[in-house]
Amino acid sequence: MIFYAQTGDPMLLDSVAGLRDLHGRFTDFIHSAAVKEAFAANSLGGPEPYAEFLRGLRVCKTNGESALRISAARWLELSAPFSELRKLHHSSFGRVGLDK
């Protein structure tokens, strides 16, 4: 689930098993020749106390600057060079113990 409110940052929450699955899929994407990947988010239940659920995370490997935005279709979209995605992958997943 990716929660969003106008006054804060989007927040991704899931079970440990769900986060491990995302970690595996993100790892596969990082090391693949694919340029774009979409990771759909669960939106069961209500988003309260947040305003809404976002539909998921779309990631794009680029040669330009890193950017994070919310699309008109309500996806969290990250575009970044491979080197930055790799740093993000190791720092973020390592902090929550999913790299084991």
Q: 59 by DSSP, 3-state: which?
A: strand
Give residue-wise pLDDT tens across range 56-70: 999 999 999 999 999
pLDDT one-digit tens code per residue, 23-53: 889 989 999 999 999 999 988 888 888 899 9
Residue entry with tokens 């491979």: 82
Domain ranges of the chain: 2-95
d(CA 78, CA 62): 10
Alpha carbon distances (Å) from 68 to 58, 62, 75, 77: 10, 12, 10, 6
Q: Catalogue the E-assigned strands of 15-99.
A: 36-40, 52-54, 56-61, 67-70, 76-80
The pLDDT score that the predictor gives to residue 8 is 82
Supply angle C-alpha 29, 64, 3, rounded to 5. Answer: 55
Which pLDDT belongs to residue 100? Answer: 47
In the prediction, which pLDDT does 66 show? 94
